[in-house]
Amino acid sequence: MPVELEYDYDAAVASMDIFSQADFDIIKEWTQKLDKSKYVPKDLSDKQLLLFYNACYGEVEKTKMCIEKYYNLRKNTPEIFDNRVLSADDLQPSTEAFMFDILAGNAPVAPLVLHGVVGGGDHHQILDACLSKRGPQPGHIFLFDMQGVKLGHLTRVSLSSLRKFFQYVQEAMPVRMRAIHVFNTEPILDKLLMLIRPFMDKKFFDMIKFHHKNEDLEKFYETIVPRCALPPNYGGSLPDTQTLHKKCMQTLKSLEPYFRAEEEQRINALPDKKREKAMEKAFKNLDID
């Protein structure tokens, strides 16, 4: 089953600030020469590769490194990157407790709102859906909402998975990360930062901006994300958060064939013995009517 991303490749290339067909061909050829110990699929589509190329600003060696780290981390963090269907038992607590929105609008960067704990296992799934539909972007802004976050939520994320998650975000995620804004900061913020700060380098940590509940956000609207790209509870004009969350869940449900195909592509890229074990595990996770 091919991995089909929905965005328009030609339109994406035409809108990119950096693109060299010669460099892009070098990257494509490089993927064909890698041995299976790198876990990189040989059947990566141009759309998949373009995401990495754009995220690394067209730098060939950085793109290669990003691709290798991406597939290495996805191979070694199955609790986050495998069996990504909404009906899966592992995802039910998060989809029921947290809300996720993929925001639209005419912002110069692509904003995402993630309600819940930074590092939750579903955040990458939302991002993958965004990349499939939007393709390469000049930048992404993550908006985290801490309203209602309790100490018990932190226990849902293991330290090992948290470490891998931040390694993925900082070294392998195929996006241009511009900033992270955390709204409705709660007293638990200090404890959360104690937990996650060791996994963040200085450059990444400096991207994070915190906003308390009663803060005047007028400057944020003027310089970061306009009101037209935000729901009403952030002072915007989009539909309410519950409506956006419901639409987001419908989007993820519709993309389950894509998530399955992407996992199958990664399994097929594994060395033979590891592939057999992964296929057996994947088969057990299939929904059988």
Is the model more confident about 38 or about 234? 38
The pLDDT of residue 96: 42
The pLDDT of residue 91: 47
Query: Structurally, how many domains does the chain consist of?
Result: 1
- Give the tokens for residue 135: 């393709």
Q: Please check the confidence at residue 277 and state whether its pLDDT lies above 80.
A: no
Please enumerate in sequence order all residues whose Cβ is within 8 A of that of 154, keeping only pairs 6 or more positions apart, or say none: 117, 188, 191, 192, 195
The pLDDT of residue 12: 96
Residue 3 domain-assigned?
no
For the chain, how many residues are written? 289
Question: What percentage of the chain has pLDDT greater than the value 90?
Answer: 41
Residue 5 domain-assigned?
no
**Which residues form the domain of 221?**
10-288
Q: What radius of gyration do the chain's Cα atoms show?
A: 19
The pLDDT of residue 154: 63
User: Span 179-206, mean pLDDT?
Assistant: 88
Q: How confident is the model at residue 113 (pLDDT cuts 50, 70, 90)?
A: low
User: Span 100-117, mean pLDDT?
Assistant: 50
**φ and ψ of 209, to 5 deg:** -120, 135
Residue 2 domain-assigned?
no
Q: Please check the confidence at residue 98 and state whether its pLDDT lies above 50.
A: no
- Give the tokens for residue 218: 């007028």
Identify the DSSP state of 163.
Answer: H
Is the model more confident about 283 or about 179? 179
User: Span 122-126, mean pLDDT?
Assistant: 71
User: Span 6-22, mean pLDDT?
Assistant: 97
- Give the tokens for residue 111: 């904003």
The pLDDT of residue 48: 98
Q: Please check the confidence at residue 97 and state whether its pLDDT lies above 50.
A: no
Q: Please check the confidence at residue 284 and state whether its pLDDT lies above 70.
A: no
Q: How confident is the model at residue 114 (pLDDT cuts 50, 70, 90)?
A: low
Output the DSSP codes for 7-50: S-HHHHHHH-S---HHHHHHHHHHHHH--GGG---TT--HHHHH
Type and span of the H or E element at 39: none
d(CA 44, CA 212): 43
Residue 223 domain-assigned?
yes
The pLDDT of residue 73: 93
Residue 203 domain-assigned?
yes
Residue 240 domain-assigned?
yes
Question: By the 8 A CB rule, do 82 and 120 touch?
Answer: no
CA 175 to chain centroid:
8
Please enumerate in sequence order all residues whose Cβ is within 8 A of that of 185, keeping only pairs 6 or more positions apart, or say none: 146, 210, 211, 212, 213
253-268 residue pLDDT tens: 889 999 999 999 999 9
The pLDDT of residue 116: 47
The enclosing domain of 249 has a CATH number of 3.40.525.10
Residue 4 domain-assigned?
no
Q: Please check the confidence at residue 33 and state whether its pLDDT lies above 90.
A: yes
Most confident of 143-147, 164-168, 185-189: 164-168
Q: Please check the confidence at residue 130 and state whether its pLDDT lies above 50.
A: yes
